[in-house]
Amino acid sequence: MGGRFRIRGRLLVRGRRGQHEDLDIRDHVGWVWYQRTVRDPRGWAVERIRVRVDAATHEGRVFVNDALVAEQIGGYTPFEADVTSLVDAGEEFRLTIGVNNELTKSTMPPGFVTVTEDGRRQQKYLHDFFNYGGLARSVWLYSVPSVAVVDGDADVRVSVRGTDGMLVAREHRATGELRIADAVLWQPGATYLYDLVVDVMDGEHIIDSYYLPVGVRTVEVRGTELLMNGEPFYFRGFGKHEDSAIVEKATTRYTWFTTSA
């Protein structure tokens, strides 16, 4: 059941602001708008319809016809909305996405905006690369079955046990803090894991349980050092810049799979 398709055409940006030769476009600060007409497939008449934006840098807003259905601050995580009540199977609707590339001290990367004497707005960088903005990932229209799990209330009990099975912490609520006295800390080479157990309760009876192995550690920055569990630690990893000859400074599922294979 269900299906999805990527919204193609002018809405799906093949590259982002930054590659353009027109300096007024390349150096634009603020909102830009992508808009196109999309048809809700006739075969989805009994499904719930959702619009998903995989990434919009650095702030995004999604409209179906004239209704705001979703908004997001942060350019590196997807966001979506249920638009079932706003579209009709077999009919077209207008999809509009606004994207704002303004930098602030809380954006990634950080920066700020200044205004020149002639009224032009300029980005000031606190980093050493161009501030690419726009739709950096695909935009999807997809359907899911009409029967679905929704938010609700539940009586839960959360507990933590050590590798010996002994109870070390417990809370009888969904939100809060768990404190483990004299916790055994996780670190490379000594990856001690506790068992976190979430029980769904019906009175005093457990009707469902979820188990998750968890480690406990501390991470801090002191001067120029990174510390794990209070000791200097050298983190290893790698970075990947999303540049390709096909879509420039953006990524699709095709380029991700071909470059990661």
The string of pLDDT tens digits covering residues 170-214 is: 998 878 889 999 999 999 989 999 999 999 999 889 999 999 999
DSSP H or E run through 5: strand 3-6
Judge whether 33 and 62 are in contact, CB under 8 Å: no
Beta bridge partners of residue 180, listed in sequence order: none
Q: Which of 27-31, 52-56, 103-107, 240-244 has the lowest mean pLDDT?
A: 240-244
Instruction: Output the CA–CA distances (angstroms, integers) from residue 96 to 6, 37, 91, 215, in the order listed.
Output: 15, 9, 16, 43
**Structure confidence at residue 173 (pLDDT):** 82
| Residue 85 confidence (pLDDT) above 70 | yes
In this structure, which amino acid lies at residue 168? Answer: V
238 vs 98: CA distance, rounded Å: 32
DSSP class of residue 211? E
| Residue 2 confidence (pLDDT) above 80 | no
Judge whether 167 and 161 are in contact, CB under 8 Å: yes
46 vs 143: CA distance, rounded Å: 9
Owner of token pair 């501390």: 218
User: When comparing pLDDT for 17 and 113, which is higher?
Assistant: 113
What structural domains and CATH numbers belong to the chain? 3-149 (2.60.120.260), 155-214 (2.60.40.10)
pTM, entire model: 0.66
CB-based contacts of 24: which residues, under 8 Å, 6+ apart?
none
pLDDT digits (tens, 9 = 90+) for 220-258: 999 999 999 999 988 787 777 776 666 666 667 777 777
